Amino acid sequence: MAATRMALEDARLEINESNANRIGVVTGCGLGGLGIMEDTILNVATKGPKRVSPFFIPMMIGNMAPGMISIHFGAKGPNLSFATACAAGTHAIGDAGKRIQHGTVDARITGGTEAVVSATAVAGFNAMKALSTRNDEPEKASRPFDRDRDGCVIGEGSGILI
């Protein structure tokens, strides 16, 4: 939400009654609410299924990001979410461009969001040998275009474009 607010301000885009139906939202999210899933599974195992929060599913699914953006900022155009792993945000940006190019929308709020740093995510990426092992210099561990790269560094955040 904060990234969207900043992007709208930077673009000087005001969403109002006259343009809301021509402004869509598309975001990408690789894994979504893995942390809430972990907590809920443990809760069900220890306390039973009646202790599951009614917010469990909405807090877990990746398509809540474009939904919440649309609701909060009033964008009423096409709303979509990609769940294509690390490429999800890039797919969203590409789709936004195509929708504008084809005249489906005049503008699109687009980008990626992820908040998946959890014990299970770290264990999973580690098990498939996808994490950087450069622990002696952690500030240099993330170097995707370096010929000596040795894996990724997982993180959380969002990037939104108009």
pLDDT at 121: 92
Is 43 or 134 the better-scoring residue by pLDDT?
A: 43
Q: Which CATH architecture has domain 2-10+23-33+61-161?
A: 3-Layer(aba) Sandwich (3.40)
Q: Domains of the chain: which residue ranges?
A: 2-10+23-33+61-161
Output helix, strand, coil percentages for the chain, rounded to the nearest 5.
45, 15, 40
Cα(102)–Cα(153) distance, integer angstroms = 37
Q: Tens digits of per-residue pLDDT, 95-153? A: 999 999 999 999 999 999 998 899 999 999 999 999 999 888 888 888 888 998 899 89
pLDDT at 140: 85
pLDDT at 139: 86
Q: Tens digits of per-residue pLDDT, 57-96? A: 998 888 999 999 999 999 999 999 999 998 999 999 999 9
Average pLDDT over residues 4-27: 98
List Cβ<8 Å contacts ≥24 apart for 35-38.
35/115, 35/116, 35/117, 35/118, 36/60, 38/118, 38/119, 38/120
pTM (global) more than 0.85: yes
